[in-house]
Amino acid sequence: LAMYTAKRSGRSRYQLYTPELDAGTRDARLRQAIADDELVLHYQPAVTMTDGSIRGVEALVRWQHPEEGLLMPGAFIGLAEETGAVVPLGEWVLREGCRQVAEWQAGIAGAERITLSVNLSPQQVKQADLVDAVTGILAETGFPADRLVLEITESVVLEPDAPTIARLEALRDLGIRLAVDDFGTGYSALSYLQQLPVTILKIDRSYIRGIADDERDRRIAEAIVRLGLAFDLYVVAEGVETAEQARLLTGMGCTVGQGYHFHRPMPPDRAAHVLAAERAK
């Protein structure tokens, strides 16, 4: 027992991932964190790559843990997805993102038209009351539906059932845009993509990484961009880290990008500063 106790305290930084805290305890702790407002959002701009102008921001969740520090989504989203805690978490993210960006749209000159992108987990998309939840949050925050982008992953796109398709169509009918996130990492069946009211395709950063140095990688990225454009999709590159990558992508016809070359995800005060400076340019 002494050894166990020592080990636990000695490794407290890793408590969240180690089996020493069982899944049930970690789940309860995360649900408490949502209720206690320990979650925070960071925002990463998406830009027009030719001039760097900001089109919108993606909300990315972090957990400001009182003992562990700032935790990245990789440390808790997986568990939340398994236990269902990702549903209240996702609603919190949508509400807080809409509230914050509505405030920027109203208060920062030039930011009136920026979009907000929010990640939807597969569990959320399966919820029968998803559309009611989204409608309620838009009404509550006054956020304009036509400025909202919901990002879904390929696992949702693959073999969507009729109720899922109906929910996504209802969101589309509200004026919300749907993006397929991490495109190319899953099964990428375009036949499924065609069944869904998706208008944006985000190319996963694993396809962007090698485009400047590797001929094969460049051709794959090019093929994905062409495929997206052929299906009348709006193609966005993620993980753009260099000017050369941005230049190559622009040449392929992909004009919007997100990545460290332009902006890292930022806490709200910093993002507000960047949005305000944008106007001054």
Q: Is residue 149 at the binding interface for ligand C2E, with CB under 6 A as the rule?
A: no
Q: Is residue 278 at the binding interface for Ca ion, with CB under 5 A as the rule?
A: no
Question: What does the angle CA 84 – CA 88 – CA 92 come to, to the nearest 5 degrees?
Answer: 145
Of positions 154, 181, 222, 278, contacts Ca ion by CB under 5 A: 181
Which range, of 45-53, 126-134, 215-223, 239-247, touches ligand C2E by CB under 6 A? 239-247
Q: Is residue 182 at the binding interface for Ca ion, with CB under 5 A as the rule?
A: yes
The three-state secondary structure class of 170 is: helix
Q: Which of residues 133-152 bind Ca ion (CB under 5 A)?
A: 151
Enumerate the β-bridge partners of residue 186: none
Q: Is residue 71 at the binding interface for ligand C2E, with CB under 6 A as the rule?
A: no
Q: Is residue 241 at the binding interface for ligand C2E, with CB under 6 A as the rule?
A: yes
Q: How far is the CB of 179 from ligand C2E (least distance, A)?
A: 10
Q: Please state whether 142 falls in left (phi above 0), alpha (psi between -120 and 50) or beta.
A: left
Of positions 30, 33, 57, 60, contacts ligand C2E by CB under 6 A: 60
Q: Which of residues 156-195 bind ligand C2E (CB under 6 A)?
A: 181-182
- Name the residue with tokens 């972090």: 62
Q: Which of residues 77-116 bind ligand C2E (CB under 6 A)?
A: 77, 86, 90, 93
91 binds, among ligand C2E, Ca ion, none (CB under 5 to 8 A by kind): none
Crossing angle of helices 243-252 and 215-230, rounded to 10°: 40
Nearer to Ca ion, 182 or 278 (CB): 182
Enumerate the β-bridge partners of residue 236: 202, 256
Q: Please state whether 219 falls in left (phi above 0), alpha (psi between -120 and 50) or beta.
A: alpha
Of positions 52, 73, 110, 197, contacts ligand C2E by CB under 6 A: 73
45 binds, among ligand C2E, Ca ion, none (CB under 5 to 8 A by kind): none
Radius of gyration (C-alpha) of the chain in whole angstroms = 20
Tell me how far the alpha carbon of residue 47 is from its chain's centroid: 15
Of positions 119, 121, 123, 258, contacts Ca ion by CB under 5 A: 119
- Tokens encoding 261: 């070359």
Q: Is residue 44 at the binding interface for ligand C2E, with CB under 6 A as the rule?
A: yes
Of positions 35, 72, 139, 166, contacts ligand C2E by CB under 6 A: 72
**Do the bridges between strand 115-119 and strand 54-65 make them parallel or antiparallel, or are there none, so unpaired?**
parallel
Q: Is residue 56 at the binding interface for ligand C2E, with CB under 6 A as the rule?
A: no
- Tokens encoding 206: 């694993």
Q: Please, which residues have CB within 8 angstroms of residue 62's CB and are 6 or more apart in sequence? A: 39, 40, 41, 42, 70, 71, 72, 73
The three-state secondary structure class of 221 is: helix
Which range, of 18-26, 108-116, 181-189, 269-277, touches Ca ion by CB under 5 A? 181-189
Q: Is residue 121 at the binding interface for ligand C2E, with CB under 6 A as the rule?
A: yes
Of positions 144, 184, 228, 259, contacts ligand C2E by CB under 6 A: 259
- Tokens encoding 160: 């969507």
User: Which amino acid appears at position 71 of this protein?
Assistant: L
d(CA 275, CA 273): 5
Positions in the binding site for ligand C2E (CB under 6 A): 44, 60-61, 72-74, 77, 86, 90, 93, 119, 121, 181-182, 205, 238-241, 258-260, 265
